[in-house]
Amino acid sequence: MSANSGTPFRGTIGKTVAESKPWWPDAPRPPEGAPNILVVLFDDVGFSDFGCYGSAIKTPTIDRLAAEGLRYSGFHTTAMCSTTRAALLTGRNHHSVGVGCLANFDSGYPGYRGKIAREAGTLAEMLRIHGYRNYMVGKWHVTPLTESGATGPFDGWPLGRGFDRFYGFLDAETDQYAPELVSDNTHIDPPGTYADGYHLTEDLIDQSIRFIGDHVADRPDVPWLTWVALGACHAPHQAPADIIRSYDAEFAHGWDVERERRLTRQKAMGLVPEGTRMPARNDGVKAWEEHSADERRVFTRLQAAFAGMLDHSDRHLARLVSFLETAGIRDNTVIIVMSDNGASQEGGPLGFVNAMGPFNFKPEPIAEKLSRIDDIGGPDTHSNFPHGWAMASNTPLRRYKQNTHGGGIRDPFVINWPKRIAGKGELRHQFVHACDLTPTLLELIGVESPGTIAGCPQMLLEGESFARSITDASAPSKSSPQYFEMFGHRGLWQDGWKAVAFHPSGTPFENDKWELFHLDQDFSETDDLAAREPERLAAMIATWWAEAEKHKVLPLDDRFGPRFAENAARFHGARHHFVFHAGMGHVPTDVAPDVRSRSYTIEAHVEIDGQGADGVLISHGDATSGYSLYVRDGHLVHDLNIGGSHQIVRSDRKVPSGARRLGVHVERLVRKEPPAKGSRTGVTEYTLLIDGEPAGSLQTQLGFHTLISWSGLDIGRDRGSPVSHYEVPFAFEGRLLRVTVTMHDDQRLDGDGVGNAQMARQ
């Protein structure tokens, strides 16, 4: 056997070199002229948000790529981020590969493992066999978050699924100024701070340029795949303040006028048929003019933050495209720009300046929002826009991300390939699904999906290539039906028709109302033909159930909170004691101790010399929410940060020098029953401890009822944006031996609250 490939040695081995004949196995070779592939995947960007899809948001780079390539009006996703990524990467339906819902939990059923099955090779794994080098930058989110810690397992991380390099984040979202970064298989600190001018988007584009630049220098003869999955425009919406404020005037007219303007542009562009009707406002969205002047001002700035984030990303994407041109490789690079689902409904009816407070039952009234209006988009905010603006993003489609109506699953898709696309600026109206991308790219390259990868037999591809439509505008749409399902919302596309059911969580599935639309004539799903075509609808519903059984969609499950709570309980099991040592790395929040809505004790074992020692002992979270135990000016301090409201207790005496145990005991004084929906759990007491003796206490109604933070835990420092009032990293100056966290078995989580908080993270 040869040393590296496992291929039988085909030379001759004699007693001496003179009697032997060497042999070298052939390296994998791509087809002659195989293109480079650059996939740029935006997050939570609606159908109309790119300028070339009807928006006034400045996206000249994307618009140029569209003008020199093609735009698709019928590209469909799966309504959520993890699921769309699984379908894009594998060429199969998301339930079929085990990612029927989010990577955040494993429901115990084959379609809902939160992790791509080994039998479903990724595009990177397929291309590696043909000699490609593969680079992943940005958001991954197809690894269970309980597997995102320092010990992995790493088989579901990018390097375990065919990528040669990775720089990005594993979770659904991250702070753009203080991201939770991973380089290859290692958690790292971000290379800059907000004060330095750091922003994640710029960093991700820098790394993309570096990966491609290194590749061109080393192996210019080998094609590459670079997958760039930006955090934009997922919440938190964060961008430079000057860009954000430049959009205030642009959107002061409100979402009703904005929808009409976008639809008018879309008709003029030919993106939608001239007869397309604007649907009524989504449920619960009021007319813009029915809101107060203060509300309209806040809502406008929240929309400006979203727009500023997209604008900012386009500016940096321009640098990447320019680099390809400078390097002389743009001509034979396929560039694809798209979004993973429709615009997000997680901002609720009024939006958020900092979502962390409301998810822990700390209200954020409009007056408070208004007082912080100039903070929106900055480092101490976790902002998201209200439903009305999400509705406008999805113009002219109904509903939002999570839903299987058009607003959740119909998204922009731009493809640019100077060498092969002749129809510059043309439109394509074929129905296309996320699972069709990998088969299309394989056909464009001229290779087939392998029967086995690393010895594992592979599932057949379920997507259908739409490569023919690139050169033939009249090419037919896919021949097979395409199902949709997310949290019980269901849909089926077949031969230009669509059956769809909106499912109110917690209600019987058999009560769902199915609607029927002829999409070829009704782009915006406004003319329900269910009563006029009952036989067609019944046949399509039957097909949906058959497809659901075939693709591992069943059992249907609409339980948000229980899924998350059960997953956390199963992961931690009976473990109630954690020991952390100085020098360890960052701990993602899903791996860290779960101190929500329970009693617990934290204790740090330290040694302090006679000069004293300040600094962080343990911190979990960031400037928007979390807790920190630290020493400042010789006093022990604990900060409970709920949505930017700091409940601080300071020790009544200084910490003596020597070997000490410094801690805090947290006791839930009202904990017998779960809280009523939308209420607080009662009083929680925080008592500082010096060598086990009380050293000051605080009682508060605030506490971590549904989430701690979406940023993780650090020992001996605070790595990201500061949880409390200090400058990071505020590393502990003494000798920190270890920190223990001991949790009481009295946790009483509000299931609905947990579900709502976690869904806002996706």
Q: How confident is the model at residue 757 (pLDDT cuts 50, 70, 90)?
A: low
Q: How far apart are CA 83 and CA 77, in angstroms?
A: 8
pLDDT of 672 higher than 60: no
pLDDT of 167 higher than 70: yes
- What average pLDDT does this structure show over 438-463? 97
Q: What is the DSSP letter of 211?
A: H
Q: Which has the closest alpha carbon to 347: 303, 313, 289?
A: 303
Q: How far apart are CA 414 and CA 41, in angstroms?
A: 11
Q: Which distant-in-sequence residues (6+ apart) come within 8 Å of 488 by Cβ?
A: 503, 505, 509, 512, 556, 557, 558
- Per-residue pLDDT tens for 485-494? 999 999 999 9
- What average pLDDT does this structure show over 733-753? 85
Confidence at residue 380, expressed as pLDDT on a 0 to 100 scale:
95
Q: Which distant-in-sequence residues (6+ apart) come within 8 Å of 172 by Cβ?
A: 81, 82, 102, 103, 104, 139, 141, 234, 761, 762
Query: CA 192, 194, 200 angle in degrees (round to 5)?
Result: 65
Tokens of 685: 């007491």
Tokens of 665: 């005991």
Query: CA 79, 304, 179 angle in degrees (round to 5)?
Result: 65
Percent of the chain scored above 90 by pLDDT?
88
Q: Which has the closest alpha carbon to 95: 73, 72, 79?
A: 79
- What average pLDDT does this structure show over 394-405? 98
Q: Which has the closest alpha carbon to 298: 235, 377, 357?
A: 377
Q: Of residues 643 and 6, which shows the higher confidence score?
A: 643
Confidence at residue 561, expressed as pLDDT on a 0 to 100 scale:
63
Confidence at residue 673, expressed as pLDDT on a 0 to 100 scale:
53
pLDDT of 339 higher than 50: yes
For 713-757, give the DSSP string. Answer: EEESS--SS-SSSS-TT-B-SSEEEEEEEEE-S-----HHHHHHH
Rounded to two decimals, what is the model's pTM? 0.95
Q: How far apart are CA 489 and CA 570, in angstroms?
A: 27
pLDDT of 169 higher than 70: yes
Main-chain phi, psi angles of 90, to 5 degrees: -110, -20
| 621 conformational bin, left if phi > 0, alpha if psi -120 to 50, beta if neither | left
Confidence at residue 762, expressed as pLDDT on a 0 to 100 scale:
63
User: What count of other Cβ atoms lies within 10 Å of the Cβ of residue 53?
Assistant: 29
Q: Which distant-in-sequence residues (6+ apart) come within 8 Å of 730 by Cβ?
A: 614, 615, 616, 630, 717, 718, 722
pLDDT of 649 higher than 60: yes
- What average pLDDT does this structure show over 550-557? 96
Q: How far apart are CA 202 and CA 217, in angstroms?
A: 22
Main-chain phi, psi angles of 218, to 5 degrees: -85, -50
Q: How confident is the model at residue 745 (pLDDT cuts 50, 70, 90)?
A: confident
Query: CA 19, 20, 25 angle in degrees (round to 5)?
Result: 170
Confidence at residue 398, expressed as pLDDT on a 0 to 100 scale:
98
pLDDT of 570 higher than 80: no
Confidence at residue 645, expressed as pLDDT on a 0 to 100 scale:
93
Q: Of residues 513 and 4, which shows the higher confidence score?
A: 513
- Per-residue pLDDT tens for 675-718? 555 445 578 999 999 999 999 999 998 888 778 888 999 999 99
55-69, 564-578, 684-698: lowest mean pLDDT where? 564-578
